[in-house]
Amino acid sequence: MKKAFTLIELLVVIAIIAILAAILFPVFAQAKAAAKKAADLSNVKQISLGITMYTADVDDMYPSAYFHRAFNPAAGGTNAGYIHWSGMTAPYVKNIDLYVSPGDTIGGHAPTCFSSADNNSGKGAPGGQTANICTANPGIVPPNFVRGGAIVDEQVPRISYTVNSAVIPRYRNITDVNRGINIVSQTALDSVSNTILIAGFTRNLECLASSSITSVTRSASHRSTNAITRDAANNQAYFGSAEDGATRPAQLFGLNFQNLRANNIFNLCRTAPSTSYPLIVYHGWNNWSNQGDNYGMADGSAKYRPFAQTIAPNNYQWGARAFTDGGAPILDPATGNPVIN
């Protein structure tokens, strides 16, 4: 007689395989996510080291988050696009692909202004972002800033990371200079190993809503973040630039985490875009598990941290002072005492 499997035996084998698959597939998915998280941490570290090398060549000074090519528009001309911190530091990082996180579900943010002629250096734009949105004026803008009839920002083609504006300022033009905003020396920081320099960008385009763009789906990848507020209770936005008024706010506070959670601000910015939210909504604090992210520190190191831990007043990792705004102290929203870095 020829031996063969019975139908019941085959069904038992199939059932065992299905059970094993159900057990192992989530494990494989977790392993894949862990590998992406590790690669992202490596990216953050390389970028942080690149910025550190940049400071070594410019008298220990950090770059600005971005500035306008026409730094003094009143003298003639237009803003003519941005020169972004990634454009300034890319020669030190060497590989522009490191600016895109392997776990970024939108593949990174495109520059605010880029040319459709070369499709953003072949990188295109995430869904919903619009190419060629900054029209050039050939009579004003130097030709090397224009491709395909559009102003081109000096920025990497795609980016998944942003910077802490308490250290790397919105030093855009003469109005910010007149406001008293300043670029920062590394030696001015209280604790370079415990001060955040780089953080993940939000992957929600709606949370980058701004009056400087006409559609919330367009990119605003030049934006920096911070964990500072002008209101101890309600997390009023602090820009660290001319938008705060002609003079520095009377007091600056660390974020009130209870208020952030109670008002669900990180989701609210998606459904009701506004410029009134604290700038922390630009940060993808929940890009990875356990509601945290990989952070690059001012000494070039990098580490995963839960977001809530980074804003704890007794170990405040976003800078104990607004270094870009005259070194104003950051206060504990609960007690009014200075935070500890």
Q: Confirm whether 21 is domain-assigned.
A: yes
- Share above pLDDT 90 across residues of the chain, in percent, rounded to a whole number: 47
Predicted pLDDT at 232: 87
Q: What is the pLDDT of residues 173-228, one digit of tens each?
A: 889 999 999 999 999 998 999 999 999 999 888 887 655 544 445 578 888 999 99
Please state, in angstroms and rounded to a whole number, the distance separating the CA atoms of residues 224 and 233: 23
Give Dmax over CA atoms of the chain in angstroms: 99
Domain count, the chain: 1
Higher pLDDT, 276 or 317: 317
Q: What is the pLDDT of residues 138-184, one digit of tens each?
A: 555 555 566 666 678 889 999 999 999 999 999 988 899 999 999 99
Q: Confirm whether 182 is domain-assigned.
A: yes
Q: Output Rg (C-alpha) for the chain, integer angstroms.
A: 23
Q: Confirm whether 339 is domain-assigned.
A: no
| DSSP code of residue 196 | E
pLDDT value at 92 more than 70: yes
Predicted pLDDT at 216: 45
Q: Confirm whether 29 is domain-assigned.
A: yes
Q: Confirm whether 240 is domain-assigned.
A: yes
> Band of the pLDDT at 276, cuts 50, 70, 90?
confident
Quote the mean pLDDT of the chain. 84
> Band of the pLDDT at 277, cuts 50, 70, 90?
confident
Q: How many residues does the chain have?
A: 341
Q: Confirm whether 217 is domain-assigned.
A: yes
Q: In which domain, by residue range, is 72 found?
A: 7-331
Predicted pLDDT at 77: 52
| Cβ atoms 156, 90 nearer than 8 A | yes
Instruction: Read off the pTM.
Output: 0.85
Residue reference for tokens 């026409």: 70
Please state, in angstroms and rounded to a whole number, the distance separating the CA atoms of residues 49 and 44: 9
Q: Confirm whether 2 is domain-assigned.
A: no
Q: Confirm whether 1 is domain-assigned.
A: no
